[in-house]
Structure formats: C-alpha cells, structure tokens
Structure 1
Amino acid sequence: MSISTGMLDEMNVLLKFDLSTTQAGIKVHSDATPETIAASQRLFEKGLLTHADGGYLTSLGYEAAQHVQSAVMILR
C-alpha cells in the first residue's frame, strides 16, 4: 500500500493539532495552500474534523491524529 499525495496532505493537517488538550483547534485560512484546504475539507467529510476549515478533532479524528503523530515520532 502506498500513501497518496492527498493522504499526505491530510496527515499534515492532523499533525498541526496539539493533542495535549482537546480545547485547541486549528483554522485553515483561505490563503492556505489549495492542498491544505482540500485536505481539511476531506477530513471534515470523513468525520475527523468538526468544520470544513479545521475546527476541532472529533473522537475519531483525535485517534487518527494520535496515530499519525506517533508514526512521525517513530520514523524520526
């Protein structure tokens, strides 16, 4: 299984979240790259984010962000 560019963009959005608190969200601004905006929209559609432009992680999104952030730490 390979990782598509779109999946990498989604993982990069998930890496932006501070997992030490559930009270910290993110805002994907209109001047963000088109790839980041699209990735945020897809994560929202998949039920991982509360808003299409970021917002907060859902419980599924929190779990996904934990996995992505752990994988990056291991691979570094």
Structure 2
Amino acid sequence: MSLTPELVAELEVLALFNLDSSQEGLKIHQTAAPKHIAAAQRLFEKELTDQPDGGYLTSLGRDAAQNVQTVLTILKEQQTA
C-alpha cells in the first residue's frame, strides 16, 4: 500500500486532534489548505469524525487518531536516536 497525497492529508488531520480530551474537537476553516479541507470531508464520509469540517472524533476516529499519533511518536523517537 502506497501513501497517496490524499491519505497523507488525512493522516495529518488525524494527527491534529488532541486525544487528552474527548470534549475538544477540531475546526478546519475554509481558509485552510484545500488538501486539509478535502481530507476533513473524507474523514467525515468514512465516519471518523462527526462533521465535514472536523468536529469531534467518532469512536472509530479516535482509534484511528490514536494509532496515527502513536506511529508518529515512534518514528520521531527513532529519528532522534
């Protein structure tokens, strides 16, 4: 599986969510990069978020965001080692 620009944009949006609080959502403004606006819409269509412009993570979305953020943490730690 290759990482398409669309998948990378979705991963970037998932990485923005604060997982320390389920009460904190995300708002992708219309002035954001078009790739992130489109990524937010796709995440909504995949039922990972509850709004097409971000909103809150669904249960599945929270699992996905946790995995994305874990992978990024591991890779960043490997770069500094």
Q: TM-score range by the shorter chain?
A: over 0.9
Q: Which runs of 5+ in 2 are unaligned?
A: 77-81
Q: Which has the larger radius of gyration?
A: 2
Equivalent pairs, count: 76
Identity %: 51
Equivalent in the alignment of 2:74: 74
Q: How far off is 1:2 after superposition?
A: 1.2
Task: Tell me the residue number matched to 1:19.
Answer: 19
CA RMSD of aligned residues (A): 0.4
Is residue 49 from structure 1 mapped to residue 49 from structure 2 by the alignment? yes
Query: Structure 1: 5+ residue runs without aligned partners?
Result: none
| Distance across 2 between alignment mates of 1:2 and 1:54 | 25
- For 1:73 and 1:53, locate their aligned partners in 2 and report how far apart those are by CA, in whole Å: 25
Alpha-carbon separation, structure 2, partners of 1:24 and 1:7: 23
More helix by share: 2
3-state SS in 2 of match to 1:40: helix
1:60 is matched with which residue? 60
TM-score by length of 1: 0.98
Q: Does 1:7 align with 2:10?
A: no
Q: Secondary structure at the match of 2:73?
A: helix
The letter for the 1-side match of 2:21 is T
